[in-house]
Structure 1
Amino acid sequence: MSRAGLDKDPHEVAEMFDGVARGYDRTNSVMTLGFDRRWREMTRRVLDLRPGERVLDLAAGTGVSTVEFAASGAWCVAADFSLGMLRQGRRRRNRRGVPMVAADALRLPFADESFDAVTVSFGLRNFQSTVVALREMARVVKPGGRLVICELSTPTWRPFRALYTNVLLRALPVVASKVSSNPDAYVYLTESIRDWWSQRELGELIAESGWDDVAWMNLTFGFAAIHRAVKPVRALGAGVR
């Protein structure tokens, strides 16, 4: 698997997630000390879904977030590039009949303006091009529709940031070796976290990709962050900038 700082080969990324699918959700909970559940709940609140809305949950993995979103009464689609993740989700938790679709984030198999909202939880940093993915998400969302991204980020408190960078990130592969079905994949995941954009940098990328009203909130001292934005309402025929 190539280093996170290099171009991400989509097929290698998909193969990596296929390899960790069996224990992925359990590993995430262990490695985040259970905070992943709280972060998903905050993401759900920010999305503010309403019955009848159409929502795309991109990089949905096994669909753990998608099923929770669907409890709002919205029609939710789980999309992911990893077939292994989707198969694991179908076996374990798809009791609500949530549609699960294999999809490339850079070439989504959906028509223009198909959704009222799009969300990504802990998957944006794995896309080969962040900007292309953000623009593609804007394409499939209706004018006035919402974008909500929850992603690991840069701790804002300096002492915690030093601990996070020098201790916690280095420990992740070791912890993963005890609980993951494919511990080597977490070396890549650690690098992808270390090389990721800061909160402000990601906010600027979102704005450059055609979204308005960009804002973010830190979770757990900035260990994770939620970014939200709105697709501009433009005159008929105007494209995404």
Structure 2
Amino acid sequence: MSRAGLDKNPREVAEMFDGVAKGYDRTNSVMTMGFDRRWREWSRRVLDARPGEKVLDLAAGTAVSTVEYAATGAWCVAADFSLGMLQTGAHRQVPKVAADAMRLPFADDSFDAVTVSFGIRNFHDPEAALREMARVVRPGGRVVVCEVSTPTFRPFRFVYKRYLLWILPFISRFVSSNPEAYKYLAESMRTWPDQREFGEIVARAGWEDVAWMNLTGGLVALHRATKPTGNPATKSTEKPTDKTADKPA
């Protein structure tokens, strides 16, 4: 399977990522001009995992982010439905599980936190996946999602959507083992909701205190939220808000 379609058939998406697993981390660094490292660092800070906590890193790919979370002393497991990605990261010494985000193989309230970095936009039903994440996180636990978003500076937003996303597949020809896959990835970036729209999806999935932080001028956004601790009927109806300032990286 060279690329998936925007219907995001799970089998096609898994096969596509199997095909790009070799050299995936290197390709990401080249395509993002090294910003991927800074974005992972901000994800780690916002997640704020602590020694003794249990963290699920979903859509973890080669587990490069899982290792960084585990360095905090938390017990972290990498989960992904692409066996090729997990096998490529086999040298990274963290637990790994092949898992479907829609049907996670974990008991209710198993984790203190769950995080997804640049993976949720590849899910067939992001809202359903967020509900499933809430199931496996304990009451009061948290979710952190790092994903592409909408640049806040209007002129750059125009250039980004009109030109940069169109040349992404061309650049990938020089660094990726499967350039066709980057046509899908560019299309998925172009159609992904903006910060507020995604925040509303997180809230509809049952999370509360939803907020986001823009990175690199909104090119990427970090969304965070907590699982309610009380009666669902009394859950706050507060709308998601941008509670933090833009960050330069």
TM-score range, shorter chain: over 0.9
2:192 is aligned with 1:196:
yes
| Cα separation, 1, equivalents of 2:133 and 2:219 | 25
Distance in 2 (alpha carbons) for counterparts of 1:199 and 1:8: 21
Please report the RMSD computed on the Cα atoms of aligned residues, expressed in angstroms. Answer: 1.4
CA drift of 1:2 comes to 4.6
Matched, 1:227 2:223: yes
Secondary structure of residue in 1 paired with 2:77? strand
- Following superposition, the deviation at residue 166 of structure 1 comes to 1.4
Q: Which residue of 1 aligns with 2:70?
A: 70
**Structure 1 residues 125 and 45: alpha-carbon distance in aligned structure 2, compared to 1, 3 A threshold:** same
Q: Secondary structure at the match of 2:173?
A: helix
TM-score, normalised by the number of residues in structure 2: 0.91
Per the alignment, residue 150 of structure 1 pairs with 146
Change (3 A) 1:2 1:68: closer
Match in the other structure for 2:90: 90
Structure 1 counterpart of 2:176, from 156, 176, 180:
180
Partner of 1:169: 165
Which has the higher mean CA deviation after the structures are superposed, 211-220 or 159-168?
A: 159-168
Measure how far apart 1:17 and its partner are: 0.2
Cα distance, 1:3 vs. partner?
Answer: 3.0
Conservation of the 8 A alpha-carbon contact between 1:61 and 1:80: yes
1:208 aligns with 2:204: yes
Matched to 1:223, the amino acid is L
| 2:131 equivalent among 129, 135, 154 | 135
TM-score (norm 1): 0.94
User: What amino acid does structure 2 have at the position aligned with 1:131?
Assistant: E
Please tell me whether the aligned partners of residues 173 and 186 of structure 1 are also in contact (alpha carbons under 8 angstroms). Answer: yes
Could you give the per-residue CA deviations for residues 131-161 of structure 1, whole angstroms, max 9, x where no partner exists? 1100000000000001000000011100110
1:105 to partner: Cα distance: 0.2
Tell me, what secondary structure is at the counterpart of 1:178? coil
Alpha carbons 2:67, 2:94 under 8 Å: kept: yes
Question: Any conservation in 2 of the 1:47–1:148 contact (CA below 8 Å)?
Answer: yes
Q: Which amino acid aligns with 2:120?
A: L
Distance in 2, matches of 1:136 and 1:75, equals 20
> 1:3–1:191: 8 Å Cα contact kept in structure 2?
no
Residue type of the alignment partner of 1:141: V
**Counterpart of 1:171 in structure 2: which amino acid?**
I
Identical-pair percentage: 69
Q: Is the 8 A contact 2:77 2:97 kept in 1?
A: yes
**Equivalent position SS for 1:221:** helix
Once residues 3 and 162 of structure 1 are traced to their aligned partners in structure 2, the CA distance between those partners, rounded to angstroms, is 24
- Number of corresponding residues: 232
Q: 5+ unaligned residues in a row in structure 2: which ranges?
A: 236-249
Report the equivalent of 2:49: 49
8 A Cα contact 2:57 2:115, kept in partner: yes
